[in-house]
Chains A and B, each alone.
Chain A
Amino acid sequence: MPRLSYRRALTRALADELARDEAVFLLGEDIQVGASLVTTGLAKRFGTERIRDTPLSEQAFTSFATGAALAGLRPVIEFQIPSLLFLVFEQIVNHAHKFPLMTGGQCAVPVTYLVPGSGSRTGWAGQHSDHPYSLFAHAGVVTVVPATPADAYGLLVTAVRHDDPVVVFAPAGAMDVRDDVDELAPVPLGRGRIHRNGCDVTVVAIGHLVHDALAVAEELADQISVEVFDPRTLYPFDIGGLTESVARTGRLVVLDDANRSCGMAAEIIASVVERVRLLAPPRRVTRPDGAVLPFAPALDRAVQPGREQLVTAIHLTMKDTS
């Protein structure tokens, strides 16, 4: 079985889509040399017309991609740092996302926005460590956060083929994950994945936190049976799959590496309690409200949701059971 890293899985997905469809092309900063190590070798293989280095003009090249999509191409943009999405939120949400409805169905805008290294890359501090996926889910833009190499491949391929804009968040904490991968295949949007079955509590973990949740589940295995649910896409969300899981376990804890207020964790809990009667109040482990990641490594870690907090939340949920 070949071992594949998450980062390499993204490269494979881009290469396969570039080879499969002439309409696909890449735009981004320093992508010809592959500064992020995701686009390594692609310019050599597909040429600099299709792997286009851009000047530092995020707002213009994001809307350039919208125009190219209106003209029938399928652009993929790589963003060097996650906070650039704040800069181009307008171009994605106010233009790319709104065009099909505003034109009364006259067009499609199939652009993929790829953010390798989202969330904290230790030591990158306040302006490079955000994980702004909730904003896009809130706006209704298809939002994907793969946790494993196979899902990174499969979801990126699906994103490129999808007829609407899709933001793909590749968490920094997952980029070096390696896995035995038998078969690479597209992964459908809106379908979650149960990584581990359990019967006492469902833990929903997003992105790289899936691996922390699995480690905690293993650690608690002799006391508590933890089911680990990975939504894989945050919008559309697999509420059906999660409801089934929570209906079996009766308890819910969400682990989400983003700020607390109006975050994905809040949305997931609300959607579940609308549908399922729980045995104990649900809990969420997130970054604090309004968090800005401090620089010093110990402070950076203190702000991110961690395994101990998850263990505590699981224990509290078990204890709260009425």
Chain B
Amino acid sequence: MTDTDPVRLYRTVRLIRRFEERAVELVHGGQIVGGIHPYLGQEGIAAGVCAALGADDVLAGTHRGHGHVLARGADPARMLAELCGRVTGLNAGRGGSMHAADLSIGVLGANAIVGASGAIITGAVWAYRRRGRDTVGVSFFGDGAVNEGMLLEAFNLAALWRVPVLFVCENNGYATTMPVAGAVAGSIAGRAAAFDIPAVDVDGQDPEAVRVAASAAVDRMRAGGGPELIEARTHRFDAHHTFEHAVRLDYRPPDEVTRARARDPVRIQGERLTDTDRAAVDAEVEQTLDAAVRFALNSPEPDPADALRHLYASGLTARTGGG
């Protein structure tokens, strides 16, 4: 089921990269309020993992979640409209950057609570399997999340009940400003080992390497194995959140990002293409994003009278606050 086409993999990393760059511009232009957590530098992980998934599979991501949603195939225009708070957005303008979800393609949502996706995806995969589907799931999380109790409880449930969930730890070295070394006792793979969950370490800057590791794990899980963990070592090239441009936090050595940029996943994957192929993809991605920005900015804002629409799936309505 794995998509081994290097051109498509390049397209995904390039799409995420340019999406993020355009989104950061829109934050600075004031069209995206509240800011975003840029995925710049980490694109190879979402792209490599999602290339290993099939149509029936599901995933849940994080506050740094744009890459996961786009790599799974969500419409970039509707995604951008969501970040701009428009009714045409994936979540009708009710979710924004940290909650972007597209259940029609198995994206059960970015989740703004660190460590939250593991248990949700385990329950979903277990349920789909009970209903006869051959689903596997992916839970993306950061290095900060491995200290959250609920995620470790989820490791236990998934391993105990042999639910095929690929736990993908995107180790970018920091939880906001807290370095891994100051936060993680033992190791990330060691946490998996405690539950007998097989773990591999992969170079998150190389999209192909991630794809190879993910597809091997997915194959084993589909053949009846339980959960697996991938620790993908990566770097975030930008701030934790766009608010950092205003507050100027001092927590990493100035040359760290410069050195990290030498291993850029977009360039690494791009070098595997012919110049013609790469130029064609770049042009196509640019057009897609130009159209996405136009679509997002020209889309209507939601009607304030509808602010609590969708609060209850049952149709229950809430009492109003005024008067």
B86-116 vs A, CB cutoff 8 Å, 1 = contact: the mask equals 0001111111000101111000110101001
B residues contacting the other copy or chain, number (CB 8 A): 48
Determine if B120 and A101 form an interchain contact, defined as CB atoms under 8 angstroms apart: no
Q: Does A68 contact B (CB under 8 A)?
A: yes
| Assembled-state Cα–Cα distance A72/B90 (Å) | 20
Q: Does A73 contact B (CB under 8 A)?
A: yes
How many contacts between A and B, using CB within 8 angstroms?
149
Determine if A65 and B123 form an interchain contact, defined as CB atoms under 8 angstroms apart: yes
Q: Does A297 contact B (CB under 8 A)?
A: no
CB neighbours (8 Å) of B91 from chain A are 102-104, 106
| Assembled-state Cα–Cα distance A63/B126 (Å) | 12
Q: Does A122 contact B (CB under 8 A)?
A: no
Determine if A60 and B316 form an interchain contact, defined as CB atoms under 8 angstroms apart: no
Determine the residue in chain A with the shortest Cβ distance to B165: A67
Q: Does A126 contact B (CB under 8 A)?
A: no
Q: Does B243 contact A (CB under 8 A)?
A: no
Q: Does B119 contact A (CB under 8 A)?
A: yes
A57-B157, A101-B308, A102-B101 in contact; A109/B123 too (CB < 8 A)?
A: no
| Assembled-state Cα–Cα distance A73/B124 (Å) | 9
CB neighbours (8 Å) of A142 from chain B are 316
Determine if A102 and B109 form an interchain contact, defined as CB atoms under 8 angstroms apart: yes
Determine if A164 and B95 form an interchain contact, defined as CB atoms under 8 angstroms apart: no
A90-111 vs B, CB cutoff 8 Å, 1 = contact: the mask equals 1100110001111111111110
Q: Does B251 contact A (CB under 8 A)?
A: no
Determine if B90 and A164 form an interchain contact, defined as CB atoms under 8 angstroms apart: no
Determine if A108 and B314 form an interchain contact, defined as CB atoms under 8 angstroms apart: yes
CB neighbours (8 Å) of A107 from chain B are 101, 103, 313
| Assembled-state Cα–Cα distance A64/B316 (Å) | 24
Q: Does A70 contact B (CB under 8 A)?
A: yes
Q: Does B122 contact A (CB under 8 A)?
A: yes
B84 smallest CB distance to A (angstroms): 14
Determine the residue in chain B with the shortest Cβ distance to A73: B127
| Assembled-state Cα–Cα distance A57/B195 (Å) | 14
Q: Does A306 contact B (CB under 8 A)?
A: no
CB neighbours (8 Å) of A100 from chain B are 310-313
| Assembled-state Cα–Cα distance A102/B112 (Å) | 11
A30-71 vs B, CB cutoff 8 Å, 1 = contact: the mask equals 000000000000000000010000110101111111111111
A64-B119, A64-B120, A67-B124 in contact; A104/B314 too (CB < 8 A)?
A: no
B residues near A (Cβ < 8 Å) are 58, 89-95, 99, 101-104, 108-109, 111, 113, 116, 118-128, 130-131, 149-150, 153-154, 156-157, 160, 308-316, 318
A residues near B (Cβ < 8 Å) are 49, 54-55, 57, 59-73, 75, 90-91, 94-95, 99-110, 140, 142, 162-164, 189, 236
